[in-house]
Structure 1
Amino acid sequence: MRMRWWKMLGLAGIMGVAATGVVIARAERRRRAYTPEEIRARLKERVEGAGEGQPEGRRS
């Protein structure tokens, strides 16, 4: 009976690792789907948005 729990725990761990790999692969595919122009535009939007939240004396 004790070995059965360890087997179940091991299988659950393996399934967790596999599910994590699937999530990472999907995110990577989604990230690579952007064109370089789209990435530049998104980065510029982020930089402009980040600059607005800082106090006047701290902008670089």
Structure 2
Amino acid sequence: MAPRGRQWFKVVGAAGVVGVAATGILAARTERRRQAYEPDEIRERLHQRYTRLQSRRDGSSG
């Protein structure tokens, strides 16, 4: 049976609560991952990424 009347508000409210909780969980997990890196590790990864992009750009421009 499909929800009627006030039941729709309950369904929408429950879906909203679930959505907010899921977003909070994902944000916390992402923050933990970000904080797990040391500044030197982040710097090294950025340098590697920059070097890789530069080599691709130089290879495709010639």
Is 2:12 the counterpart of 1:40? no
Displacement of 1:13: 1.2
3-state SS of 1:34 partner: coil
Distance 1:52 1:18 in 2: 42
**Percent same amino acid at aligned positions?**
47
Displacement of 1:53: 2.1
Using the size of structure 2 for normalisation, the TM-score is: 0.78
Unaligned runs of 5+ in 2: none
Using the size of structure 1 for normalisation, the TM-score is: 0.81
Distance 1:24 1:53 in 2: 33
Is 2:33 the counterpart of 1:19? no
Is 2:56 the counterpart of 1:53? yes
Displacement of 1:56: 3.5
